[in-house]
Each structure stands twice: as C-alpha cells, then as structure tokens.
Structure 1
Amino acid sequence: MEETEVCIPIPRDLVRRLGVEPHTSSKATKFTEAYLRNCIQQPTRLDVKSMVTHKAVILGYRRPKKDKTKKKSKKAKGLNARQKRMMKVFQIKPDHQRYELFLPLHELWRQYIIDLCGGLKPTSNPQFVQQKLLKADFHGAIITVVRSKCPSYVGTTGILIQEFKHVFKIITKEDNVKVIPKRYSVFGVEIDGFVSHIYGNKFELRASERSVRKFKVKGTMDL
C-alpha cells in the first residue's frame, strides 16, 4: 500500500477558537526575494528564484585582509667554529697579554669558588669541595703543571685565561701565553690553603659540557 501525504486545511471555527493562523509561505517568500535583491551587488543572469533553489549565496562576506605589520622573526644564527677561527675571535691581542690585567679576574674566580663551596674552612669536607670543583669554571684560576709527559711544561704557573676541549691557555707572570695540553698532564690548583689536582685526561671537555656532566664516583675523585 503506497504512502501519501494528506494535507487538510484547519477549519475556520477551530482557527478562531484557538487563535492561530494557517501556515502560509507567501509572505516569507516575498521577503526573502526582496532581501536577496538588495544584497546582490553584482548583476547576474539568474533570477532570484533560481539562485535560491540551485545555488547557495553567502551574504556579507569579506576576505580578511593580511596583516602586513607582522613579519616572520628569524632566529639569529651564531658563528660556527670555522668562522670564529677566521675572525680570530679567540685570539688575545698582544697589547692585552699582560699578567696584571688578569689579576681582577683571578679575584673574581676566587670569590666564585668560595661562594660555590659555601665558604672554605679548615673543617670543610674535602670530598664535598672536590665534587663542586669538578663542575666549576676555572677561568681566572692560578694553575701549576705538576706532572706532564713533556718535562718542559712541569712547573709552569699562570692564570687560566682560556679553556678549550683539549688545552688550557694560561698567562705567566712574565707576560707569556702558554698553551698546555690537558692529555697526559696533571695540574695543581690552590684556593685558600686547599690544594686540588686536575687530571687532564678526565678534563678533556669544554667548560659548558663539564658543568652538566654526571661524573661517576669511584674510589678516587677526578681531582
């Protein structure tokens, strides 16, 4: 049996009794057509009825304008190792190679180590001090070559002015800059009566890398 839609108008007496009006779409259709005519700015070949039935019309749409004030921020790239060597970034000018110029740096380093170790006292735990020195920065420290595979380095003393991965660069009291290899060398450092030894083989790291490295604690310390 086929299904059919049955539409029966509401009786007029029932309309009066309920106070409702029968549904008519004529007013809504006329309003929609008039509104579309006012909104459409460009002339079109299609009439309003065909546009409503066959095509969706977006009313009041505007393409957002691009903000020209915003610019992509590029991160500044640093110089690589080759560029730094070509620009001689790490070279100290001969006029600045004087021992007395680096004495204030040594005093700053000395105070830095005292603060790092919580004050150096005769009752301080040597093992605790050594643990702190393992990750400390030694720029400004007065170091002495205690032992070395090359006998000519032994006894050399000066302020550490530059530390690289494989070498220490120090300046002596005679205003001479010496480059001492870390490998096969032992360096002595004295801070207010505390004497520590740096084994160069274990220190073949940059200062920034050593500060975050975890050292394994065995029977003896690296210092």
Structure 2
Amino acid sequence: MNEAAVNDPIPQELTGALGLQPAAKSKADAFARSFLRRSLRDGSRSDVKEILTHKALILGYTRPKKDKPKKNKKAKGLNAKQKRDLKIFHIKAEHQKYELFLPLHELWKQYITDLCNGLQPTTNPQLVQGKLLKADFHGAVIKVVRSKCASYVGLTGILIQEFKHVFKIITKKDELKVIPKRHSMFEIEVNGFVSHIYGSRIEQRASERSAKKFKSKGAIDL
C-alpha cells in the first residue's frame, strides 16, 4: 500500500457501514481562513487555498502602541496649615515633663562637645560661639537673659522644639513656654563655656542655619 492510498479520504459508501460521519469543517479552520482573507494585503485574491500554495505569505502588520512614559510626580509635603490641623508639633500634656527630656539634654551636650572638637579650658570661646550659631539647639538648656518683654527674662528650660521665629522650652516646673527669638537674648552654658546669642541672628530653622555664613557683628539693639 503506497502513501497516497493511506492519505486518501474514506469512501462515502463505507462511512455508513463503519458508523462514521463526514468530518465537518471545524471552527478553527473557518476562523483561520477568515483571518487570512482579512489580513492579506492583496484583497483581490480571495481564493485562500490558492494563496496558501505560495511559499511566502505577507500579512498586514499593525505596529503596537508604545505606552507613554509615566511622569514622576514628586510627593508634595504638607503646608503649614495642614500641619497645624494635624497637630504634628503638638506635645501632649502627659509628655510635658522636664525629666523626660533630660536624656535628650545629655545627648545634646555630647553632640556639642564633638562639634567643638572637645571642650577644653584652652578652647577659644569665639570658636564655641561660632559653632553654636550653626548648631542644632534641641536638647540645650537655654535661659532668657534679656528681652523687650520683661516676663520672659529669667525663663530657663530644655529646648524641645525650635521653629523659625520661636523656641519652645520645658521648665523644671513642667511648664511649656513659647519664647520668640526676636527682641530676646539667650544664654547657653556648655561645660563651663557660657555663650550669649541674640535671637534675631538665628531667625532660621536649624537646617537652614547650619549652612549659613554668619558675619561678626557688634552689639545688637533689642
């Protein structure tokens, strides 16, 4: 039996005797032929069987659309009003305790000592003064020695929050005080070194003050 005989279809008279049904055109075959008709560039050639006898078949091609690159949107921070509404800087009454901030003061003393390369009796006081102007004061014990508002004079406590225009300190009586920088002079003592700082010279946030260049000035009128 040759190969051609094997591939020949079953005669119609035998399909009934064998209980077979003629094979119907499958949906896949119908879809394939319909797809080829739609995709062929030469729409006049509608005989798919004839077309498939060619060695090469050129189908239509649609270039896929490229997704536009997403723009990186920078996250916007909260504005001053939103921060106030959320009470981000609010310190609860039960946390307004002087003793709770004593460890912070110890850390600040170590920080300022390292910043000044170790405070020794021979250390130049002007060097300490210059370092303090750029230092972070959170944890420092500050005292108001002069002010246009007499009620502020003598107030002493650990600085727990610093803003552009005000200091917030906690006193030994567990009282939270808000002191404006302008029109006030503050005293800071570190290992025997006493420095006086005019509040009007440091009306910046701590992060801004660290990069600022301070010029030597004479007395400042409160």
Normalized against structure 2, the TM-score is what?
0.69
Distance, in Å, in 2 between the alignment partners of 1:60 and 1:210 is: 67
Aligned residue in 1 for 2:63: 63
Q: Which runs of 5+ in 2 are unaligned?
A: 1-38, 46-57
CA apart distance, 1:139: 0.6
Q: Deviations for 1:98-150, whole angstroms, at most 9, x for unmatched residues?
A: 11111111111111101111000001111111111111010110001111112
Aligned residue in 2 for 1:178: 177
CA apart distance, 1:66: 3.7
Q: Cα–Cα, structure 1 residues 219 and 94, in superposed 2: closer, same or farther, change >3 Å?
A: closer
Aligned residue in 2 for 1:197: 196
Aligned residue in 2 for 1:102: 101
Distance, in Å, in 1 between the alignment partners of 2:147 and 2:83 is: 30
SS in 2 for 1:137: coil
Q: Cα–Cα, structure 1 residues 111 and 123, in superposed 2: closer, same or farther, change >3 Å?
A: same
Matched, 1:88 2:87: yes
Aligned residue in 2 for 1:146: 145
The letter of the residue matching 1:137 is D
Distance, in Å, in 2 between the alignment partners of 1:134 and 1:183 is: 15
Identity of aligned residues (%): 72
Distance, in Å, in 2 between the alignment partners of 1:207 and 1:79 is: 19
CA apart distance, 1:187: 0.7
SS in 2 for 1:174: coil
The letter of the residue matching 2:140 is A
Q: Deviations for 1:9-36, whole angstroms, at most 9, x for unmatched residues?
A: xxxxxxxxxxxxxxxxxxxxxxxxxxxx
Q: Cα–Cα, structure 1 residues 41 and 106, in superposed 2: closer, same or farther, change >3 Å?
A: same
| Matching of residues 149-164 of structure 1 within 5 Å | 149-164=148-163
SS in 1 for 2:136: coil
The letter of the residue matching 1:63 is R
| Matching of residues 1-223 of structure 1 within 5 Å | 41-44=40-43, 63-64=63-64, 66=66, 72-218=71-217
SS in 1 for 2:82: helix
Contact 2:185 2:196 in 1 (8 A): yes
Contact 2:40 2:60 in 1 (8 A): no
Total equivalences in the alignment: 170
CA RMSD of aligned residues (A): 2.7
Distance, in Å, in 1 between the alignment partners of 2:139 and 2:86 is: 24
Q: Which runs of 5+ in 1 are unaligned?
A: 1-39, 47-57
SS in 2 for 1:89: coil
SS in 2 for 1:95: helix
SS in 1 for 2:197: strand
CA apart distance, 1:190: 0.4
Distance, in Å, in 1 between the alignment partners of 2:85 and 2:120 is: 46
Contact 2:170 2:177 in 1 (8 A): yes
SS in 2 for 1:105: helix
Normalized against structure 1, the TM-score is what?
0.68
Q: Cα–Cα, structure 1 residues 144 and 212, in superposed 2: closer, same or farther, change >3 Å?
A: same
Distance, in Å, in 1 between the alignment partners of 2:71 and 2:147 is: 54
